[in-house]
Amino acid sequence: MTSTREKAIIFSIIHFIIIFQHIIISIGSKEYACQSFSCGRLPIRFPFYLKDKQPSYCGYPGFGLSCTKSKKTVVELPLSGSFFVRFINYTSQSMEIYDQTCCIPQRFIAGFNLSRTPFNTQGYANYTIFNCSGDFADGIDCLTSSNYTVIALDPEEYIEQYLPAGHCDLLAQIKWPNAPPKYSDKNLNPDGLIMNWDEPRCGSCETGGQICGYQNTSSHTIGCFEKPKEKPVGKKIPICVSVGIFVFVLSGLIIFNEIRNKADKKEKENQLRIEQFLEKNALKPTRYSHADLKKITKKFETKLGQGGYGSVFKGKLKNGIQVAVKVLDYTKGSNNGEEFVNEVGTIGRIHHLNVVRLLGFCVEGYTRALIYEFMPNGSLDKFIFSAEKDKTIIDLGWAKLQEIAIGIARGMEYLHQGCDQRILHFDIKPQNILLDHNFIPKISDFGLAKLCTKDTFVTISMAAARGTMGYIAPEVFSRNFGAVSYKSDVYSFGMLLLEIVGGKKNTETKMETRTEGEYFPEWVYNRLNRGEDLGIQADAEGLDTVNKLTMVALWCIQWNPIDRPSMNGVLHMLEGNTEDLLKAPNPFASMTSVSSTSRVNHTNEIELTELTSILEDHE
């Protein structure tokens, strides 16, 4: 059966097609385009047309108007410039224009010519414009100031009668419609000018209550038509669009509501599962509400960073302890709360100097957050990857880096052997190693962790590879390379040690003697095997540390998990003397033998060459 969501989508598509076709037909119709418009309160219809809204065939040549943003109608006269239109009388075929300064005589003095327009005025007369210093009662008000008076006189009049000698200067000679603007009794308005048109002859149509226009879209024959009773088609588009938007919004609400209901149902199931987990497990961390989180973080004011499954904010508890609050993003990762359960279920029940401490958590609605002790020095990657680029980063030195490596190994050894159940981290990398104010390392981010028994030969079953490219052990990619176990964490630790030695990510490290494109771990082994150094500048003690970290790393990254030491063995090597370390076998020589003996009947597994390519191309 068709679901509610599918019905809503089908209904929306059909309705959209109908509306879209209607709009296209309407827009493509000349009858629609030539309907009456208005600019402000001024109706615009044939023979006029709005140039910014209608095509030229909607009006008579020379009758194009424009409408400003302030809803003022403008007419462009070719030889005289632009004027505003005050009103249009379609019956008498006349309109009044005015200047922005409301002084038409000024435009006449500058030059006014209607010869290239369809408009005319009711006759002209020649007038002479004078600028007089005397006081004249009949001056042109809009041109007159406190210092002088401007007057217009008919040349046929006795100019001497009006102009005392030496008081006036000739300003211009103009043609003015009808009579001088000083004569108010002749119905002239200095701030406006009446213009008429003879063609097209539409006055009779308007007198009879009809409108004028072209008889059809392809003919220039003009006729009279009944005024449309319905509202202008121009208003139908907004109505159609409004209806369409309403339908889409309604359909969207139906779809959203169904999706939200399913999400709410799933979230309730996840919430119940998490609550059951919390009830069965007595945990040391404190449970906080969402309101508590806002107080702790001051409404999430300071963001420390962005992780794979959420954002981290700085905060402070009531007792003054600084904390880092990791708010899980519900849209990322596993939506069933697996990351939250992993973190709380592992780190929430343990306490070790080299494992970050979980102080609290929040489960409320869609909010899931973890509250950790605050690490002021951030993560290890900042110090080993950015030291050359950022001179403000502290150079830890090889002695401190060795201490950090030993601290990480102790934390991992505790996870593997010191708890009731073995905790496999599956995401050991510099970004997940935090440093406190004394640069003591603490393992963090247990979102991918798994619990298992501490039996010697126990293996882990996983539906898919987990971890970060470049640190994932070969067997996590493909069972052809062995079983997944705690040795997979050992491999990741080995890759971390190599990055500490190289000072950059393995695939980005470029040593002077390294061939371009050569896999860094293999290059390291080949150098040591030939008795050559790694080209690292350090004193004798520092070089001894470099050699030790490198040799331990090569033991950790053996392709066959059986050949890798446990974290307890790694710790003994790191704390012992370099001279006592046995030379690690070639990690890459075992690739072929391990793969060839177990590749048969595993067509769905990753081939050796594919895995090597992935490791060489990872970030």
Known binding-site positions for ATP: 326
**C-alpha span between 567 and 417 (Å, rounded):** 9
**Phi and psi at residue 289, in whole multiples of 5°?**
-90, 170
Q: Which helix (H) or strand (E) holds 286?
A: strand 286-288
Q: Is 427 assigned a catalytic role? A: yes
**C-alpha span between 530 and 542 (Å, rounded):** 20
Cβ-count burial 125-154 (b if 16+ within 10 Å, e if not): eebbbbbbeeebeebbebbbeeebbbbbbe
Nearest alpha-carbon partner for 150 in 160, 122, 162: 162
Which tokens sit at 151?
């007057």
**C-alpha span between 231 and 225 (Å, rounded):** 16
CA 497 to chain centre: 38
DSSP string, 353-390: TTB--EEEEEEETTEEEEEEE--TT-BTHHHHHSTTT-
Binding site, annotated residues? 326
DSSP string, 227-257: PPSSPPGGGHHHHHHHHHHHHHHHHHHHHHH
Nearest alpha-carbon partner for 310 in 371, 380, 385: 371
**C-alpha span between 499 and 513 (Å, rounded):** 17
Beta carbons of 44 and 36 less than 8 angstroms apart: yes
Out of 99, 427, 445, 489, which one is annotated catalytic? Answer: 427
Residues recognised as catalytic: 427
